[in-house]
């Protein structure tokens, strides 16, 4: 639950805004970074996925810790540069990069353009040729097998992301006619929010085997292998967190496998994390406007919900489950009751939590949704109903 210190910090912020807001704890991000660096090999490079949360303060914080950055648009490229990331610290992913975005990245000389289709490879060659530049790229590989966050191994699934593993011979053939493009590495990301170290390791294994296949086809040593990430956080109360130490030990063992050590021993290994780095740092704070009864059910109507934090309202969930909730009351009421937390919009799915046991709420009380530092503010439909977006604070 929420510490008294954090409650005081959040309560103090209510004097600065009448609307809902996000609070990001920089100390929690620092603790997460330290856990990663203590549990994983020191030479495993960590890229922060800016799409999780591109708040300037968060970008600057992670750059200071030593992260590189993964971006997926010209807007994120500009944000990363404004936060102080050098071109050599940036990789650019995404299946739909526009010609102007590709040209900007090539002109800047970013570390790696991640190619996600055969046509994109040809377009990069055309742009690089017109600029008279040599471009280093990684191929994003959609692996033939991957593990989902339910623990199932899927085979032969289609995806808009990356180049299918069985299309690698075609990619290499096209590459031979691209003198301005050099394939230097691979990028593989198959699944998000994994809470099992075994599942993370299995996807790492599939990624490395795909890299070995590409290296054999190219006939040259790969310089970088980005394994993706998918490290999860326990949104639902009672779920066990990812065993980060086990992830580190399993990765060390995988890297010592004979074929990996012999064939990829000189490659730099990378992972790409967004949710894991910042998710647990963030709280969505919204105020109770009214309470009411309907057909035997108790509702608290909040001043923020779907428009400002659709993640808490079930976006992306197959089966909707409540996130962890804390309450900060104006006047402490020890009585409990089961409550539905509804946002202010005229949309039936604007439900922040369903049938959750909480202290009896009154107008003016604060409801704090945990673990929304990633895909909270940036993932929400802020144009819906023209409601004011949530304010963001960090400390």
Q: What is the pLDDT of residues 26-57, one digit of tens each?
A: 999 999 999 999 999 999 999 999 999 999 99
User: Which pLDDT belongs to residue 152?
Assistant: 84
Phi, psi of 334 (to 5 degrees): -80, -10
Proportion of the chain above pLDDT 90, given as a percent: 88
Say if residue 150's pLDDT is above 80.
no
* DSSP per-residue letters across 86-125: -GGGEEE--TT--HHHHHHHHHHT-SEEEE-SHHHHHHHH
Does the pLDDT at position 147 exceed 90? no
Q: Is the pLDDT of residue 151 over 90?
A: no
> Tokens 């900007």 sit at which residue?
104
For the domain covering 54-273, report its CATH number.
3.20.20.10
- Cα four-point dihedral sign 191, 197, 202, 203: positive
Domain 280-394 fold is Lyase, Ornithine Decarboxylase; Chain A, domain 1 (2.40.37)
Which H or E run contains 62?
helix 56-65
CA 190/CA 91 separation, integer angstroms: 18
- Give the pLDDT score at 70: 98
Residue range(s) in the chain whose domain bears CATH number 2.40.37.10: 280-394
Q: For 210-260, what is each residue's pLDDT tens digit? A: 999 999 999 999 999 999 999 999 998 889 999 999 999 999 999 999 999
DSSP state, residue 199: H
Q: How far apart are CA 209 and CA 324, in angstroms?
A: 38
352/390 Cα distance (integer angstroms): 15
Dump pLDDT digits (tens) for 114-124.
999 999 999 99
For residue 231, list its beta bridge partners.
Answer: 194
Strand boundaries in the chain, DSSP class E: 21-24, 45-49, 68-71, 90-92, 112-115, 135-142, 145-147, 153-155, 163-164, 181-187, 224-229, 268-273, 282-294, 297-302, 325-328, 336-342, 351-359, 366-369, 391-394
Q: Where in the chain is the domain with CATH 3.20.20.10?
A: 54-273
Is the full-model pTM beyond 0.85? Answer: yes
Q: How far is CA 389 from the centre of its chain?
A: 21
Instruction: Express each pLDDT in 171-187 by its tens digit.
Output: 999 999 999 999 999 99
Average pLDDT over residues 148-163: 86
HEC sequence for 227-276: EEECECCCCCCCCCCCCHHHHHHHHHHHHCCHHHHHHHCCCEEEEEECHH
Average pLDDT rounded to a whole number, residues 128-135? 97
The span from the CA of 105 to the CA of 329, in Å, is 49
pLDDT tens digits, 257-313: 999 999 999 999 999 999 999 999 999 999 999 999 999 999 999 999 999 999 999
d(CA 372, CA 105): 30
Average pLDDT over residues 65-77: 98
For residue 352, the model assigns a pLDDT of 98
- Count the residues in the chain: 395
- Whole-angstrom distance, CA of residue 168 vs CA of residue 206: 15
Q: What Cα–Cα distance (Å) separates residue 83 from each residue in 59, 78, 154, 282, 294?
A: 6, 9, 38, 20, 49
């Amino acid at each position: 639950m929420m510490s008294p210190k954090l409650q005081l910090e959040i309560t103090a912020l209510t004097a600065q805004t009448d609307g809902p807001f996000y609070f990001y704890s920089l100390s929690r991000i620092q603790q997460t970074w330290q856990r990663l660096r203590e549990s994983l090999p020191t030479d495993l490079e960590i890229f922060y996925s800016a799409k999780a949360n591109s708040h300037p303060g968060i970008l600057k914080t992670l750059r200071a810790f030593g992260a590189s950055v993964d971006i997926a648009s010209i807007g994120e490229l500009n944000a990363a540069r404004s936060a102080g990331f050098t071109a050599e610290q940036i990789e650019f992913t995404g299946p739909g990069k526009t010609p102007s975005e590709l040209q900007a990245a090539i002109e800047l000389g970013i570390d790696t353009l991640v190619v996600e289709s055969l046509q994109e490879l040809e377009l990069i060659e055309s742009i690089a040729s017109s600029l008279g530049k040599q471009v280093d790229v990684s191929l994003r590989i959609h692996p033939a097998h991957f593990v989902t966050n339910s623990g199932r191994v899927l085979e032969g699934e289609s995806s808009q992301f990356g180049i299918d593993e069985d299309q690698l011979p075609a990619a290499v053939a096209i590459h031979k006619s691209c003198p301005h493009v050099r394939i230097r590495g691979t990028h593989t990301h198959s699944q998000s929010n994994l809470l099992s170290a075994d599942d993370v390791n299995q996807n790492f294994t599939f990624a490395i085997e795909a890299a070995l296949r590409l290296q054999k086809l190219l006939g040259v040593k790969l310089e970088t292998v980005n394994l993706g990430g998918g490290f999860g956080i326990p949104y639902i109360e009672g779920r066990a967190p990812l065993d980060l130490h086990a992830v580190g030990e399993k990765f060390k063992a995988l890297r010592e496998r004979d074929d990996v050590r012999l064939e990829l021993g000189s490659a730099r290994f990378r992972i790409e994390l967004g949710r894991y780095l910042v998710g647990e740092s963030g709280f969505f704070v919204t105020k109770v406007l009214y309470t009411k009864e309907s057909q035997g059910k108790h509702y608290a109507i909040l001043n923020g919900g779907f428009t400002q934090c659709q993640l808490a309202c079930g976006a992306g969930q197959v089966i909707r489950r409540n996130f962890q909730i804390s309450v900060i009351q104006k006047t402490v009421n020890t009585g409990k009751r089961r409550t539905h937390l509804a946002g202010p919009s005229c949309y039936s799915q604007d439900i922040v939590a369903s049938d959750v046991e909480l202290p009896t709420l009154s107008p003016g009380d604060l409801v704090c949704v945990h673990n929304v530092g990633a895909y909270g503010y940036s993932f929400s439909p802020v144009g819906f109903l023209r409601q004011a977006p949530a304010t963001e604070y960090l400390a």
